[in-house]
Amino acid sequence: MAKRQVVEAFDRTIQDITGVALPFDGKIMVLGGDFRQVLSVVRRGTRAQYYQQKMIVMELKKQWTEVLFTSQMIWYESDYIISWTILSTKNDSVDAINDYMIDRFHGEERIYYSVNEAIDDKNGFYPLEFLNSISVSGLPPHYLRLKLGCAIISNSCWSICWKMIFLPKIPLCPSDDDMFPIKLKRKQFPIRLCFAMTINKAQGQTTPNVGIYLPDPIFSHGHLYGALSKGVSRCNTKVLVKSNKNSKGDGVYTTNVVYKEVLHD
């Protein structure tokens, strides 16, 4: 997920310190990663901007524009998903799954509300109801539903509420990169339900059982590969997908997205 500028800056710094005009001062560097994974996030970025972020150029002998799912991977049973890590492409799909799952989860429900304010709203143009309704990527929800033992995520780390930890309510603001029209400040527990998460959030993780929910086709380079590579085996990876009806072959297909310029010079 590191941007190419990070590596280039490190390279230039080493050369400036040592005065040796060789890549990384001629030292051997080992860089780990998978060039087929989801690319670094460029907010509202174009395909060309994603290409400019590529760090390592490698070549594949073959690229697939469609992926066929075998019958063992097609998954339609909703009662079976409670013990799975579920991945999807968009936050709306993830939120819908989490709401569905917390309803089915056993135990007494507790609801925690956030405290919101618009820092730059001196004239009170934005009512509290509007601020409470705002859903911002990277911020916890205003209406947080929890039950003992449910799965949560905090600071991009997956966890289960099975041990006692100190988790204070803290004020949070959207990143400047979000270009949000108002300066929103939300005070809330910095967690979200995590029965399901986006594919981007699952980067670098591997879990025993994975469910992949694709109500719409993949829309970005590496998304499908990233999702399918999170399970330990094909037998433990199940997919709920809206099949591509324009596919020529028999079976369940979905569209894959590959930016070939990322893989080729």
* pLDDT of amino acid 132: 92
pLDDT digits (tens, 9 = 90+) for 44-87: 666 666 656 554 433 333 344 445 555 554 445 444 444 578 89
pLDDT recorded at residue 25: 87
**How many whole angstroms separate alpha carbon 193 and alpha carbon 201?**
13
| CA–centroid distance for 106 within its chain | 27
Domain ranges for the chain, please list them.
4-52, 108-147+168-192
DSSP H helix total and E strand total for the chain? 6, 14
CA–CA distance, 116 with 21 (Å, rounded to integer)? 52
Is residue 147 within 8 Å of residue 108, measured between CB atoms?
yes
> What's the pLDDT score for residue 142?
93
Low-confidence ranges of the chain (pLDDT < 70): 1-3, 32-83, 155-164, 177-179, 204, 243-249, 262-265
The pTM assigned to this predicted structure is 0.65
Residues 6 or more apart whose CB falls under 8 angstroms from that of 187 comprise 114, 115, 116, 169, 170, 171, 172
Residues 69, 73, 77, 79: what is their CA dihedral angle, to the nearest 10 degrees?
Answer: -140
